[in-house]
Amino acid sequence: MIELLLDLPVLFKVMGTLVFILILNRLSKSMIISIGLGTLLLAFWSGHSMYSMADIAWRRFSSRDNIMLIAIVLLVIWLSTLMSKTGVMKDLVNVIQVRMPHRLAFAALPAVIGLLPMPGGAIFSAPLVERYDHKGRLSGLLKTQINYWFRHIWEYWWPLYPAVLLALELTGLEVWQFILLQMPVTILAFGSGYWFLLRRIPREDERSAAPPVSVKPFWVLVLPILTIIASYACIQIILPAVVRVSKYLPMMIGLFLALFILQVQRKAALSVWKELLFSKRAYSLALLIALVRVYGAFIEAPLTGGILMVEQMRLDLVQVGIPLLAVMMLIPFLSGLAMGLFVGVVGASFPIVLSLLGPDPSTGVLLSATLLSYGCGFMGVMLSPVHVCLVVSSDYFKTRLLTCLINLAGPVCLVLLGVIALSLGVEWLCAW
């Protein structure tokens, strides 16, 4: 029986592990336990020895990038908590509530934070969404989905995201080409999110009395956020040596500057800082994200035969006679489900997809394949139970991963259909 399980296709093993994580999360109601045991199952099922499992896990856990990622998560939690305790979030919510329709305001809050290419950034926007629902009329499930979905509407083209930069490098497209190609997908994602999520917000809330506008201008309230974006962009352009130390270092610097500016603006007491620095919830979330990263390390590690897991999944699909176009869609999508980290999906699947196009594809074919593979991969990430933003959103609003993912099927399917139509349209226009 054990030998039979070990001989199953890699694709079955990866998908089986994800199902195991979802079921265990529903039973245990602990994401740390479910992802931790799911990681062990994947490692054993992939044929790793105890030594190789320990080596892969330790290398990822102790790597410079992972340590900095954990530090970023802590800094994000501290910044969002400090903004809440000093009244910035309350003022920000008030301003948005007065200036925007009620339903759109729910989307705007996570979308603004989505301009920050920070891992686990949904934990930043979750308190904003929670505070905006001041009457408590929305379910935790709906708030989880709104926070999660609209947090990611920019990642299709916003050039601060590492996945966008990597896709530009691998495809050889110009920045303007990529942005024009991908912008319609952001519009599509917003529209599908409105149709399936925002329309569920009761209309009577829109007639509720608005709270008084904050005395501070909007740009002053979001100055810490603008500082992070500006410092990240400037360091990427002016000081590329900093990026070579770690891709997360520019974000760390921006977060420290944001904390400094916020302290100057609102002057939090020492007791508030003590509460931040010794928050059990913050360190629990950091541990959870570290476990997600270790899971990703086993997805990225070569199998015992030396072949990469994503390449083996491609071979499995080809072996059963899946058409080439379907392979170009499924490889990124399945990689997204397995990894939950889009920059990893682009790095692992795009070289395979591009190799399927031949040595010298036409511009139309390249644009169409990029749009199709990027969109399918991103929708896989959005449905992944190990996506950090989904994990932290679900943990914050106390919802179940499986229930949340099932209810996201509508907007995901609509975006996928739209991406397929857009890719066919782009190829037709270029050929015409």
Q: Is 302 helix (H, G, I), strand (E, B) or coil?
A: strand
CB contact at 8 A, 40 and 8:
no
H or E stretch at 70: helix 64-85
Among the listed residues 243, 223, 291, 268, the one whose alpha carbon sits nearest the alpha carbon of residue 30: 291
Assess whether pLDDT exceeds 80 at residue 92: no
Q: According to the per-residue pLDDT averaged within each range, which of 45-59, 215-229, 352-366, 372-386 is highest?
A: 372-386
Q: What would the mean pLDDT of 176-193 be, rounded to a whole number?
A: 94
pLDDT value for 82: 85
Segment 269-303, tens digit of pLDDT = 888 888 888 888 778 877 877 887 788 788 778 88
Neighbours of 105 (CB within 10 A): 21
Quick one: tokens of 133?
């629902």
Segment 146-169, tens digit of pLDDT = 999 999 999 999 877 778 877 887
> Domain map of the chain by residue range?
2-152+162-431
Q: What would the mean pLDDT of 323-333 be, rounded to a whole number?
A: 87
pLDDT value for 117: 67
DSSP letters for 146-175: HHHHHTTTTTTT-TTSHHHHHHHHHH---H
Q: Which long-range contacts (CB under 8 A, 24 or more apart) does 314-322 make?
A: 314/352, 316/9, 316/10, 316/11, 317/11
CB contact at 8 A, 233 and 253:
no
Among the listed residues 336, 396, 335, the one whose alpha carbon sits nearest the alpha carbon of residue 110: 396
Whether the CA torsion 196, 202, 207, 211 is positive or negative: it is negative
Q: What would the mean pLDDT of 310-335 be, rounded to a whole number?
A: 83
**Residues 296, 385: Cα–Cα separation, whole Å:** 12
Segment 223-255, tens digit of pLDDT = 888 888 888 888 877 877 777 777 778 878 888
355 falls in which pLDDT band (50, 70, 90)? confident
Whole-structure pTM value:
0.75
pLDDT value for 198: 94
DSSP letters for 98-137: HHS-HHHHHHHHHHHHHTS--TTTHHHHHHHHHHH-TT--
Alpha-carbon distance values, 281 to 113, 153, 386, 392 (Å):
21, 27, 19, 11
Tokens 């050039």 -> residue:
159
pLDDT value for 261: 92
Assess whether pLDDT exceeds 50 at residue 307: yes
Comparing 93-97, 192-196, 371-375, the range with the smallest average pLDDT is 93-97
Mean pLDDT, all residues of the chain: 83
Assess whether pLDDT exceeds 90 at residue 412: yes
**Residues 64, 67: Cα–Cα separation, whole Å:** 5
